[in-house]
Amino acid sequence: KEDFEKDNEALFKLNDDLSGKNQINTTFETWALATYFEDVISYANNRLYDMSKGRYTFLLGKGKDNRGQKGLDVSVLDSYTGKIRDSSSFSGGELFIASLSLALGLTDAVTNRNGGIQLDSLFIDEGFGTLDFDTQEITIDTLLQLQENKMVGIISHIEFLKNAVHSQIYVEKTTSGSKIHIKS
């Protein structure tokens, strides 16, 4: 048994390191996710900067409990106040643009990391009703820019989108069932 342990000492050490018994208490899976997540946050920050007019920046935390979740906590720096905010303090509109920024950041990271794999479609379901007028305009401009190389589907009941989006599919509820109307 001693010979076996001595011959395989490097393998046991590697197993310990990969399973989180290491100096940073992080499993290999968490480390890999955190590495990819850093890319997502970097791309998301580019989007968030534009949509928030430079007000917000995502920050990666070290984890609340320091039990190997390093790099997976996200907070937001508010440049107006200079303070770090938790997403639970966001208004509906702020939360919407933060979520949209993260979704677009993920798309950008996948596209740029995986040899040009294209994610050609994006669907957004609601959220626009929580935006103030200026943020509506910024969000629509962002989505229209995306339409240059992606199909963007917006599912919404908000009136201002009817003027902003030219190609539309309307679903009309009738007593005999739903009808679809296409406007392009």
CATH classification at residue 52: 3.40.50
pTM: 0.74
Instruction: Say whether both 138 and 161 belong to one domain.
Output: yes
Structural domains counted in the chain: 2
Instruction: Say whether both 111 and 57 belong to one domain.
Output: yes
What digits encode the pLDDT tens for the residues 49-100?
999 999 999 998 765 554 445 556 788 999 999 999 987 888 888 888 999 9
Boundaries of domain holding 131 = 120-184
Last residue of a domain, one of 115, 134, 154: 115
Joined tokens for residue 66: 């320091």
Give the start-end residues of each E strand in the chain: 56-60, 74-78, 83-85, 121-125, 151-155, 168-174, 177-183
